[in-house]
Amino acid sequence: MLRTRRSLLAGAAGLCAAAATRPLRAQEPGLFGPLIGDEFREPTAVLTVDLPQLQYPGKWNPRPGAMRELAVELRLRTRLEPVREPSVVTAESRKLFDTPFLYVAGEGQLPALGGAAETALGRFLDLGGMILFDAADGGTDLGFERDVAALLGRILPGAALTRVAADHVLYRSFYLVDTPLGRTNTFDHVLGIHEEGRLKALLVRNDLGGALARGESGLFTWPCTPGGADQREWAFRFAVNILLYATCTDYKADRAHVETLLRNRRWR
């Protein structure tokens, strides 16, 4: 009985809260008179963004499900609407150009992709695409990093991977992040190629995918060391930042944002 009464009270309180919050939307049209049709509608269809991952001969998917997990977190934390099942593309596929973002994971090495594939990747970057390279070895083997640098040297002649400065907008595109953590905490910075006012390629060497991926059991597949759950949360935050940077570029470097953050002492 007590439980029923509490339930009723809780229900009544919930209705009141709903009534209190509802007018926000109901009042808006009221400012201009009644709307024709529905007063407010959720989108009937949503413009989604894909987070495609490159498939290539070799260990192209060392952290299965990492992008799917990132898509889930992006939907929960931001207004981005990633697809529920990110796609897998090959470099020779026309689907490569369905999205100006590409996730390339690898472990140990990145084999040569072939002339056609590299030409396509070069055009992908020239037209405005961004590639996120993720080294799953977490700093224990520099083979993948070496191969990525060689690949980028071929498809972007004259460009070189350099350290992305700590004050780059990448570290504040959504969260204020100090260190690009992943499954490991080996490197305190990421590498990138900055051309034409944007990051064309980004190389993360702390196994970002390893921090994101969950197994079929629903549990995270790989432990984050040495920081554990906190480190994983920061890895998610950095991953969110990367996608926000990919979609908004240097939006958070606009003067209005910088001045506000400095004024509120939220960023130094």
Partner 1 sequence: MERWRITAGHVPGPFGLALVLIAVVFAIVEAARAYRKPVPGVSPRLRAGLFALRCAGALALLAVALELSLSFETTSAAGPRLVILADDSASMSIADAGAPGQEAMRRVDRVRDLWQRSADARAAWKEQGLAVQVRRFGEGSEALTGEAEANLELTARQPASDLTRALAELAAVDPAVDPRPLAGVIVLSDGLFDRTDRGADDPLVLAARELGVPITTVSAGAPHLVDLALTELRAGEFAFVENVVEFAADIEAHGLEGARTEVVLRRDGQVVATEPFVAPASGETTVRFEVAPDRVGQFVYEIEVRPVEGEASPHNNRRAFVVKVLRDKVRALHVAGRPDWDVRALRTLLGRDPNVELLSYYILRGADDADREDPLAPLSLIAFPTDELFKEQLGSFDLVILHNFDALNHQVGRYLPDIGRYVEEGGALVMIGGDMGLATGDYPAPALSAVVPVDLRVPTGLDTEAFRPAVTDAGRRHPITAWIDHSGLSDWSALPALDSYNPAKLARHEAEIGSAVLLRHPEGGPLLTIAEPGRGRVLVLSTGASWRLGFHADLPIVDGARPYDLLWLGAIRWLLRDSAADRLTLETDRPTYLLGAPITLRAAALSPSYAPEAGVEVAWRVQPLGHAADDPGADPNAPVTILSQGTWTTDALGRASETLGGGLSVGAYEAVAQRAGDESAGAAQQARRVFLVQAAGRELTRLASGPGDERLERLAEATGGRWLRAGDGLPAEPPLKAERQDRERVDSRRDVPVWSGGFAMLLLVLCLGGEVLVRRRIGLA
Query: Does the protein bind partner 1 through residue 90 (CB under 8 A)?
Result: no
Return the number of the residue (78 or 109) whose C-beta is nearest partner 1: 78
**Contact by Cβ (8 Å): 249, 198:** yes
User: What is the pattern of x (binds partner 1, CB under 8 A) and - over residues 96-135?
Assistant: xx-xx-------------------x--x---xxx------
Token reading at 51: 């987070």
- Residue identified by tokens 């140990």 is 108
Member of 7, 23, 166, 251 binding partner 1 (CB under 8 A):
251
**Position among 2, 20, 47, 219 found at the interface with partner 1 (CB under 8 A):** 47
For partner 1, the closer CB: 72 or 88: 72
Which one, 120 or 156, has the nearer CB to partner 1?
120
DSSP state of 244: H
Distance, in Å, from the CA atom of 228 to the CA atom of 181, rounded to the nearest integer, reads: 11
Residue 34, both tokens: 């009644």
Cβ–Cβ under 8 Å, residues 75 and 81? yes
**90: nearest Cα among 50, 51, 63, 117:** 117
Q: How far is the CB of 247 from partner 1 (least distance, A)?
A: 4
CA 60/CA 53 separation, integer angstroms: 9
- The size of the interface with partner 1 (CB under 8 A), counted in residues, is 60
Among 5, 46, 115, 158, binds partner 1 (CB under 8 A): 46
Which among 168, 186, 183, 160 is positioned nearest to 242, based on CA atoms?
A: 168
Q: Report if residue 195 touches partner 1, rule: CB under 8 A.
A: no
- Out of 4, 42, 157, 218, name the contact with partner 1 by CB under 8 A: 42
Give the 3-state secondary structure of residue 109: strand
Query: Nearer to partner 1 by C-beta: 159 or 261?
Result: 261
Nearest in space to 214 (alpha carbons), one of 230, 234, 236, 246: 236
Catalog residues that contact partner 1 under the rule CB under 8 A.
24-25, 28-29, 31-33, 35-38, 40-47, 49, 76-81, 94, 96-97, 99-100, 120, 123, 127-129, 172-176, 197-198, 233, 237, 244, 246-252, 254, 256-257, 260-261, 266-267
